[in-house]
Amino acid sequence: MAKTESALNPLMKHRKRLNETTMRELFAADTGRFESFSASAGEILLDYSKNRIDAGAMKALIGLARDAGVEARRDAMWAGEAINITENRSVLHMALRYGGDQPVRAAGGDDIMPGIREVLERMRVFSDQVRDGSIRGATGEQFTDVVNIGIGGSDLGPAMVTLALEPYSRADLRLHYVSNVDGAHMGDTLKRLDPKRTMFIVASKTFTTDETMTNANTARGWLATALGDGAVNDHFAALSTNLAATDAFGIRQDRIFGFWDWVGGRYSVWSAIGLPVAISVGFDNFKAFLDGAYQMDRHFLETPLEQNLPVIMAVLGVWYRNAWGFSTHAVLPYDQRLSRFAAYLQQQDMESNGKSVTLSGKPVQWPTGPIIWGEPGTNGQHAFYQLIHQGTDVIPCDFLIAAQPHEHLPPHHDKLVANVLAQSEALMLGKTKDEVVAELKAQGLTKDAIKALTPHKMFPGNRPSNTLMYPKLTPEVLGALVALYEHKVFVQGTIWDVNSYDQWGVELGKQLAKALLPKVEGMTGTEGHDSSTQGLVRHYLALKG
């Protein structure tokens, strides 16, 4: 959509107007600002009033989404059109959590729902049997540890969800996630495990990813050394779209859980890739996670753009990226169990919209995906928030907070809530020179000391944030939150006119690593490489000894 550049230009007039005021002034002028700029989807409230917006800017931003064809493209995605054009694939992760009774078709083919339901049923039976001990290891012992071996979407989703849903897990069934090809990851994990009680799940959409296959081979060797080759069968399961490769690895048929090429890796936690989650928290809770996402899908599909949470969050992101030039976006859950949420969203967002050509292959003329980062509060407050408050970059933030904790440990949760509200308020209000001077005067400081300190103690304010508030971090709420961000990424990709569903940018590094392996193994020479790479290989080989 070559229209994007000209469509983004009108935003500048709104930016100009809003640049002449502050959110502090906008709040002072309108006591109903929270009501005007908040919206809900199911149990999730989005307060977006602490943004540099007014009704005119929001109208323009929603108009931008509408003109970009978000509704038509959303419907095309759900209708199974191959909107992932570079791989000629449908994008149907919504089908994995669909709770309705209509057929869903990928690119005009057969109904995909029976296949989805069949795999879900097999996941239910298998996870129940691992949990109740009817599936056991080769020596007859019950599994106490399950190691998921996968990377990217085959790791980040289930690892994030397992951590987030810890209150639903059992103390006697521990989940481990090994992703890195760095042997430290596998080595440190195996060190604490008893092979007799350990199950490995090899999770890989392609079943060719080098890190995962290397880790899977190491795990198989470790198991076979301890229990014999014959035991491997009882201790391995596989999650993949590449059933031939899982077979070749030697995983028995009834332990292979398939999915489909219309499920992108970073959108696969809803598929068989969610099996470790089902084992950890029980299938009913995994199903509730799917149901929460389905409710968000319905909201996304059925709600007018003006009240549509993913659309609102998406256009605000476009507003800051394109009209204000802010290049990063922080996701700050005040929810310790969401400690991997930002890492998960990094793949979801940056692998999706980190693109610089349009759908028609032309260079984009506008900035696309921002850098996504974040850590849970309140920890971040004592680390990087300094820069968010007083640094030279403006960083739009998403704050996430539950009203109810899972544990009864007063006064922890009220303190947590007070902190998250304080942060968004502080970012918005800032602290003026007059306020600083009055404060220092009240502390009895001398005139000179006040003069010297004042610039350091001022806060610019007018720094934007969204707050997402939900009753409790249940499986349903988590599913809805993840789906909310998925759809936000979709809407932004549509406005930026990029393919959010391929990831060619990860390929070059993979190719070069393959070519460099024999060289770092010292098997072949480094001619043909640049002098830096040659020098580093030489130095490595000398150090390696």
Write the Ramachandran bin of 80: left for phi over 0, alpha for psi from -120 to 50, otherwise beta.
left
CA distances from 21 to 29, 38, 52, 288 (A): 11, 21, 9, 44
Q: Which of residues 478-517 bind ligand F6P (CB under 6 A)?
A: 503, 506
Q: Which is nearer to ligand F6P, 202 or 305 (CB)?
A: 202
**Binding flag, residue 223, ligand F6P (CB under 6 A):** no
Write the Ramachandran bin of 245: left for phi over 0, alpha for psi from -120 to 50, otherwise beta.
alpha
Q: Which is nearer to ligand F6P, 159 or 395 (CB)?
A: 159
Question: Minimum CB separation from ligand F6P for residue 207, in Å?
Answer: 7
Q: Quickly list H helices, 497-530.
A: 507-520
Among 162, 189, 212, 494, binds ligand F6P (CB under 6 A): 212
β pairing state of 256-258 and 371-373: unpaired
Mark whether 415 is an active-site residue. Answer: no
Question: Minimum CB separation from ligand F6P for residue 343, in Å?
Answer: 13
Do 357 and 498 meet the contact criterion of CB atoms below 8 Å apart?
Answer: yes
Do 257 and 272 meet the contact criterion of CB atoms below 8 Å apart?
Answer: yes
Work out the angle at residue 365's Cα, subtended by the Cα atoms of residues 363 and 366, and round it to the nearest 5 degrees: 125
Q: Which is nearer to ligand F6P, 153 or 479 (CB)?
A: 153
User: Residue 162 carries which side chain, given as an amino acid letter?
Assistant: T
Mark whether 141 is an active-site residue. Answer: no
* Residues 64-96 as b or e (16 or more Cβ within 10 Å = b): bbbebbbbebbeebbebbbbbeebebbbbbbbb
Do 54 and 16 meet the contact criterion of CB atoms below 8 Å apart?
Answer: no
Among 80, 137, 158, 265, binds ligand F6P (CB under 6 A): 265
**Binding flag, residue 179, ligand F6P (CB under 6 A):** no
Catalytic residue of the set 412, 510, 514, 539: 510
β pairing state of 174-178 and 145-149: parallel
Mark whether 351 is an active-site residue. Answer: yes
Binding mask 108-147 for ligand F6P (x = CB under 6 A): ----------------------------------------
**Binding flag, residue 153, ligand F6P (CB under 6 A):** yes
Residues in contact with ligand F6P, counted by CB under 6 A, come to a total of 14
Per CB under 6 A, which region of 13-21, 152-160, 217-225, 374-382 contacts ligand F6P? 152-160
Do 127 and 282 meet the contact criterion of CB atoms below 8 Å apart?
Answer: yes
Q: Which is nearer to ligand F6P, 34 or 504 (CB)?
A: 504
| Separate counts of helices (H) and strands (E) for the chain | 24, 11
Catalytic residue of the set 20, 35, 302, 382: 382
Q: Quickly list H helices, 68-182.
A: 70-78, 113-132, 156-164
Q: Which is nearer to ligand F6P, 51 or 204 (CB)?
A: 204
Among 154, 280, 285, 358, binds ligand F6P (CB under 6 A): 154
- Termini Cα distance of the chain: 56
Per CB under 6 A, which region of 111-119, 205-213, 442-450, 471-479 contacts ligand F6P? 205-213
Question: Minimum CB separation from ligand F6P for residue 247, in Å?
Answer: 16
Annotated active-site positions, please?
351, 382, 510
Binding site for ligand F6P (CB under 6 A): 151-154, 204-206, 209, 212, 265-266, 351, 503, 506
